Amino acid sequence: RQQGGGGVLVWAGIIKDELVGPFRVEDGVKLNSQSYCQFLEDTFFKQWYRKKSASFKKNMIFMQDNAPSHASKYSTAWLARKGIKEEKLMTWPPCSPDLNPIENLWSIIKCEIYKEGKQYTSLNSVWEAVVAAARNVDGEQIKTLTESMDGRLLSVLAKKGGYIGR
């Protein structure tokens, strides 16, 4: 958010106690399946995934929401060609951001960048604030969020699919 509207589109991931990214989607880019996959190629795959060991990749689960660009046949086939086969893609129920621990991380980052009513005059200054806040997130916070997944899933089951409020 900045004065006058607008915002910065950001992609990031978390795994165990590590933040992957954040990576900025270029201003004006509409993420369809093809542009989403190209974005992943240029960021996640080139800057992070390719550096990981084969055993790490074998055990990794790739979780994303059900945005059309994420869940399309094109994107899932592209991910499979990159080594993230269907069995490594976590099935995600619709309308359930409360399950995804990265949503809690975004909440932490947003609270930091907008604390005390802070406003920004440009998209670049918003992006710089996101990067700075992300650097200040420690591994222990991320670990707590990722380790909360089992409890989140059990809570949803106990509420028969209802909202769990986390």
The enclosing domain of 75 has a CATH number of: 3.30.420.10
Specify if 164 maps to a domain: no
* 109: containing domain: 10-158
* 5 within domain boundaries: no
The total number of structural domains that make up the chain: 1
Considering the domain boundaries, does residue 2 fall inside one?
Answer: no
With a threshold of 0.85, does the pTM exceed it?
no
Exposed/middle/buried for residue 65 (C-beta within 10 Å: 0-12, 13-18, 19+): middle
The candidate with the shortest Cα–Cα distance to 99, out of 142, 56, 140, 155, is 155
Is residue 126 a part of any domain in this protein? Answer: yes
Q: Is 142 exposed, middle or buried (0-12, 13-18, 19+ CB in 10 A)?
A: buried
Note whether residue 18 is domain-resident: yes
**Per residue of the chain (166 residues), what is the pLDDT tens digit?**
444 567 899 999 998 899 999 999 998 888 999 999 999 999 999 999 999 999 989 888 898 888 899 999 999 999 999 999 988 888 777 777 667 888 889 999 999 999 989 999 999 999 999 999 999 999 999 999 999 888 888 888 898 877 776 5
In DSSP terms, which residues pair with 131 in a beta bridge?
A: none
In a domain, 166, yes or no: no
Beta bridge partners of 18: 15
Is residue 92 assigned to a domain?
yes
Are residues 48 and 33 in contact, defined by beta-carbon separation less than 8 angstroms? no
Residue 70 falls within a domain, yes or no? yes
Question: Cβ distance 8 to 110 under 8 Å?
Answer: no
